[in-house]
C-alpha cells in the first residue's frame, strides 16, 4: 500500500461550530478525519501532520517555507503528500510550492472544502478521498484537487466562494478528471531527479488592477518605494490608457528607477500580446514585460521567487520570467 502524508494547515475543512455562538473554529483534525472518513485507510497508509491551523487569509511566505520543509524532511518516507488548506489563498501556496520544490518527483496535492467536514452534505469527504487516491498515482507535480478535477496548482484560479467547483484552470487543461474512473491528462509533468528547496522569496513586489480613470498620481509613491517589481492587471491582451491619464510616463520612470513592470490581463482566458496594439507596443517600449498566459497570482509569486532566486539581479529576473519552472506558462 502507498504511504501518504496528510499535512493540515487549517481552513474551513477542519472547522467545527463552537457553542454558544456556533462560530466556526479549528478542531482536532486527525480525530475528525478518522471519525468521518475511516475509509481512507482502504486507499493508502495515511499519517497526519499539523503544520499550522489557520484561516488561509493569514498565510505568509514563511508558511510556504514551513510546508516545503515538512515535505522535504518526509520525502524519502512517503509516496505522496496531501495538504489540507483553506481555499482562499490555496492558489498562492500551490504556485509557491511549485517553485520551491525543485526536482519534485512525487505528488503534492492541495485540497480543502467549501463546507466543513463535520457538516452534512460537505464536499470535504469527496475532496479528501479523491486527493488521497490521486496522490498515490504518478502525478509528480503540485496540484489542486477540488470537485471533480485535479488542476496544475500554478495554473489555477479560484472562481467561486460557495460552489463545490470552486477552481478553474483557464489556460491549461485539467491534470485529471474524477468520475466513475480517474482519467489522467497526457500533459502531466514528468518529474525531476532530486528534490532541492529554493525558498528565497523577495516580497518587495506590488500589484494593482488598471481601470479607466485611474490617475497615475496614486502610483507615484512607488517610484521611490522599496518595490522592485509591479504587476499590472491590464485590460485585454495588455492594454492601459496611453492618452488621458496615460501610465506610460510612470512606466518609464519606474523602469528608469530599476523596477520591473509585468503586464498581466484581467481576463482569465488568453494571453498577453504587447505587439498587437499601440498601447501594448508603448508599454513594451517603456520597459514593461509580458506575463504571457500566466495567472495573476502565479505572476506575483513568480516575481517574488525570481527576485529572491536571482538575488535582485533584475536583468536575470526579466530574462527568466517567461521560462517555465513548473509548467506555469506556455512556451
Residue with cell string 498562492: 92
Kindly report the length of the chain: 331
Size of the site for ligand ASP (CB under 6 A): 10
Residues 7-66 interacting with ligand ASP (rule: CB under 6 A): 10-12, 55-57
Residue 127, SS3 per DSSP? helix
Q: Is 86 in the site for ligand ASP (CB under 6 A)?
A: yes
Contacts of 62 (CB under 8 A, 6+ apart): none
What is the rounded CA–CA span in Å between residue 186 and residue 261?
Answer: 34
Contacts of 292 (CB under 8 A, 6+ apart): 271, 272, 322, 329, 330
Strands 45-54 and 3-10: parallel
Name which of 117 and 283 has its Cβ closer to ligand ASP: 117
Name which of 37 and 222 has its Cβ closer to ligand ASP: 37
Residues 173-192 interacting with ligand ASP (rule: CB under 6 A): none
DSSP-assigned letters across all residues of 301-331: HHHHHHHHHTTT-HHHHHHHTTS-SSS-S--
Q: Is 327 in the site for ligand ASP (CB under 6 A)?
A: no
Closest separation between CB of residue 131 and ligand ASP, Å?
Answer: 14
Closest C-alpha to 125, from 251, 33, 220, 28: 33
Closest separation between CB of residue 116 and ligand ASP, Å?
Answer: 9
Q: Is 122 in the site for ligand ASP (CB under 6 A)?
A: no
Q: Is 112 in the site for ligand ASP (CB under 6 A)?
A: yes
Cβ-proximal residue to ligand ASP, closest one:
86
Residue with cell string 493508502: 44
Closest separation between CB of residue 321 and ligand ASP, Å?
Answer: 28
Closest separation between CB of residue 84 and ligand ASP, Å?
Answer: 9
Name which of 124 and 189 has its Cβ closer to ligand ASP: 124
Name which of 10 and 147 has its Cβ closer to ligand ASP: 10
Closest separation between CB of residue 22 and ligand ASP, Å?
Answer: 17
Closest C-alpha to 157, from 296, 20, 55, 19: 296
Name which of 87 and 265 has its Cβ closer to ligand ASP: 87
Q: Which residues bind ligand ASP (CB under 6 A)?
A: 10-12, 55-57, 86-88, 112
Amino acid at each position: 500500500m502507498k504511504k501518504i502524508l496528510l499535512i493540515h494547515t487549517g481552513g474551513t475543512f477542519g472547522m467545527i461550530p463552537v457553542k454558544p455562538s456556533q462560530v466556526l473554529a479549528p478542531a482536532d483534525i486527525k480525530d475528525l478525519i478518522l471519525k468521518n472518513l475511516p475509509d481512507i485507510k482502504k486507499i493508502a497508509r495515511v499519517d497526519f501532520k499539523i503544520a499550522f491551523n489557520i484561516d488561509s487569509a493569514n498565510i505568509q511566505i514563511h508558511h510556504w517555507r514551513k510546508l516545503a520543509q515538512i515535505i522535504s524532511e518526509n520525502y524519502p518516507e512517503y509516496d505522496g503528500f496531501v495538504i489540507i488548506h483553506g481555499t482562499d489563498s490555496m492558489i498562492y501556496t500551490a504556485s509557491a510550492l511549485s517553485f520551491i520544490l525543485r526536482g519534485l518527483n512525487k505528488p503534492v496535492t492541495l485540497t480543502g472544502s467549501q463546507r466543513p467536514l463535520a457538516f452534512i452534505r460537505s464536499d470535504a469527504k469527496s475532496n479528501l478521498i479523491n486527493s488521497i487516491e490521486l496522490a498515490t498515482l504518478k502525478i509528480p507535480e503540485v496540484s489542486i484537487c477540488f470537485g471533480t478535477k485535479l488542476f496544475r496548482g500554478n495554473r489555477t484560479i479560484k472562481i467561486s466562494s460557495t460552489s463545490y467547483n470552486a477552481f478553474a484552470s483557464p489556460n491549461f487543461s485539467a491534470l485529471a478528471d474524477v468520475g466513475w474512473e480517474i482519467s489522467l491528462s497526457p500533459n502531466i509533468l514528468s518529474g525531476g531527479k532530486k528534490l532541492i528547496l529554493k525558498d528565497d522569496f523577495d516580497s518587495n513586489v506590488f500589484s494593482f488592477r488598471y481601470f479607466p480613470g485611474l490617475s497615475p498620481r496614486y502610483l507615484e509613491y512607488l517610484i521611490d518605494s522599496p518595490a522592485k517589481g509591479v504587476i499590472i492587471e491590464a485590460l485585454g491582451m495588455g492594454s492601459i490608457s496611453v492618452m488621458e491619464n496615460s501610465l506610460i510616463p510612470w512606466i518609464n520612470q519606474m523602469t528608469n528607477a530599476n523596477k520591473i513592470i509585468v503586464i498581466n490581463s484581467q481576463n482569465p482566458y488568453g494571453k498577453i500580446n504587447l505587439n498587437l496594439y499601440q498601447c501594448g507596443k508603448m508599454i513594451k517600449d517603456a520597459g514593461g514585460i509580458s506575463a504571457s498566459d500566466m495567472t495573476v497570482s502565479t505572476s506575483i509569486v513568480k516575481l517574488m521567487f525570481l527576485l529572491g532566486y536571482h538575488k535582485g539581479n533584475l536583468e536575470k529576473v526579466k530574462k527568466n520570467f517567461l521560462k517555465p519552472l513548473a509548467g506555469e506558462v506556455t512556451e
